[in-house]
Structure 1
Amino acid sequence: MDVLVAGSSGFVGSRLCPELERAGHTVRAMTRRPHSYHGAGQPIRGDVHDRDSLRKAMDGCQAAYYLVHSLDDPKFEQRDADAARTFGEVAAEAGLERIVYLGGLGAEGDDLSPHLRSRRAVERLLGVGGVPVTTLRAGVIIGHGGISWEVTRQLVEHLPAMVTPKWVHVRTQPIALDDVVRYLVGVLDEPETTGRTFEIGGPYALTFADMLRRVADLEGRPLILVPVPLLSPWLSSLWLSLVTDVDARTGRSLIGSMVNETVVHDDSIRELLPFEPLDYDEAVLRALRDRVKARHAA
Structure 2
Amino acid sequence: MSGRRVLVTGATGYIGGRLAPRLVEAGHEVRALARDPGRLRDASWADAVEVVAGDLEVAADVRRAVEGIDVVFHLVHAMAAGGDFAKAELAQARNVAAAAKQAGVRRIVYLSGLHPEGEHLSKHLASRVAVGEALLASGVPTIVLEAGIVIGSGSASFEMIRHLTEVLPYMPAPRWVRNFVQPIAVRDVLHYLVEAASLPDDVHGAFDVGGPDVLRYGQTMNGYAVEAGLPQRPIAPLPVLTPWLASQWVNLVTPVPRAIAIPLIGSLLHDCVVEERRIDAVIPPPEGGLTGYRDAVRLALVRERAGDIESSWRSASAAGAPADPLPSDPDWSGSTVFEDARERTTTASTDAVWRVIEAIGGERGWYSVPLLWSIRGLADRLVGGVGLRRGRRDPVSLREGDTVDWWRVERIDRGRMLRLRAEMKVPGRAWIEFSVEPVAGVAAADGTAGSGAARSHYRQRAVFLPSGLAGRLYWWSLVPAHHVIFELMAGRIVAAAEAEGAQDEGPEVEGPDVEGPR
Q: Which amino acid aligns with 1:209?
A: G
Inter-partner Cα distance in structure 2 for 1:272 and 1:297: 42
Q: State the 1:192 CA deviation.
A: 6.6
1:287 aligns with 2:300: yes
1:84 aligns with 2:104: no
CA 1:97–1:132 in structure 2 vs 1: closer, same or farther (change >3 Å)? same
**Aligned residue number for residue 255 of structure 1:** 265
Q: Which amino acid aligns with 1:178?
A: R
**Aligned residue number for residue 116 of structure 2:** 107
Q: State the 1:126 CA deviation.
A: 2.0
Inter-partner Cα distance in structure 1 for 2:216 and 2:187: 21
1:69 aligns with 2:82: no
Q: Which amino acid aligns with 2:256?
A: V
Inter-partner Cα distance in structure 1 for 2:396 and 2:299: 16
Q: State the 1:58 CA deviation.
A: 1.1
After the TM superposition, which parts of structure 1 deviate over 4 Å for at least 4 consecutive aligned residues?
none
1:27 aligns with 2:30: yes
Query: Residues 225-265 of structure 1: CA distance to partner in whole angstroms, max 9, x if unpaired?
Result: 22222101111011111011222132122212211211111
Query: Residues 122-155 of structure 1: CA distance to partner in whole angstroms, max 9, x if unpaired?
Result: 0111244422211110000101221111111111
Inter-partner Cα distance in structure 2 for 1:31 and 1:268: 33
- Structure 1 counterpart SS, 2:14: coil
**Aligned residue number for residue 273 of structure 1:** 283
1:5 aligns with 2:8: yes
Inter-partner Cα distance in structure 1 for 2:283 and 2:92: 30
Please report the TM-score for the alignment, with normalisation by the length of structure 2: 0.56
Verify the 8 A CA contact 2:34 2:54 in the aligned structure 1.
yes
**Aligned residue number for residue 229 of structure 1:** 239
Inter-partner Cα distance in structure 2 for 1:85 and 1:92: 11
Q: Which amino acid aligns with 1:16?
A: L
Query: Residues 91-137 of structure 1: CA distance to partner in whole angstroms, max 9, x if unpaired?
Result: 11222111000011112212222222111100111244422211110
Query: Residues 5-50 of structure 1: CA distance to partner in whole angstroms, max 9, x if unpaired?
Result: 0011211111111111111100111111113313332211122111
Inter-partner Cα distance in structure 2 for 1:60 and 1:210: 47
Q: State the 1:205 CA deviation.
A: 0.8
Verify the 8 A CA contact 1:84 1:126 in the aligned structure 2.
yes
Q: Which range is displaced more, 287-296 or 181-190?
A: 287-296
Verify the 8 A CA contact 2:136 2:143 in the aligned structure 1.
no
Q: How does 1:238-253 map to 2 (within 5 A)?
A: 238-253=248-263
Task: State which of 189, 200, 210 in structure 2 corresponds to 1:201.
Answer: 210
Q: Which amino acid aligns with 2:66?
A: M
Q: Which amino acid aligns with 2:18?
A: R
Q: Which amino acid aligns with 2:169?
A: P
Inter-partner Cα distance in structure 2 for 1:218 and 1:197: 33
Q: State the 1:224 CA deviation.
A: 2.7
Verify the 8 A CA contact 1:113 1:260 in the aligned structure 2.
no
Verify the 8 A CA contact 1:5 1:65 in the aligned structure 2.
yes
Task: State which of 42, 58, 62 in structure 2 corresponds to 1:54.
Answer: 62
Task: State which of 8, 15, 18 in structure 2 corresponds to 1:15.
Answer: 18
Inter-partner Cα distance in structure 2 for 1:243 and 1:232: 17
Q: Which amino acid aligns with 2:149?
A: V
**Aligned residue number for residue 96 of structure 1:** 105
Q: Which amino acid aligns with 1:42?
A: E
Task: State which of 120, 128, 135 in structure 1 corresponds to 2:129.
Answer: 120
Which of the two has greater helix per residue? 1
Q: May I ask how many residue pairs the two structures share in their alignment?
A: 298
State the superposition RMSD in angstroms.
Answer: 1.6
Q: Which amino acid aligns with 1:17?
A: A
Please report the TM-score for the alignment, with normalisation by the length of structure 1: 0.95
Verify the 8 A CA contact 1:65 1:99 in the aligned structure 2.
yes
Verify the 8 A CA contact 1:98 1:194 in the aligned structure 2.
no
Q: Which amino acid aligns with 1:279?
A: G
Inter-partner Cα distance in structure 2 for 1:161 and 1:193: 51
Consecutive unaligned residues of structure 1, counting only runs of 5 or more, are none
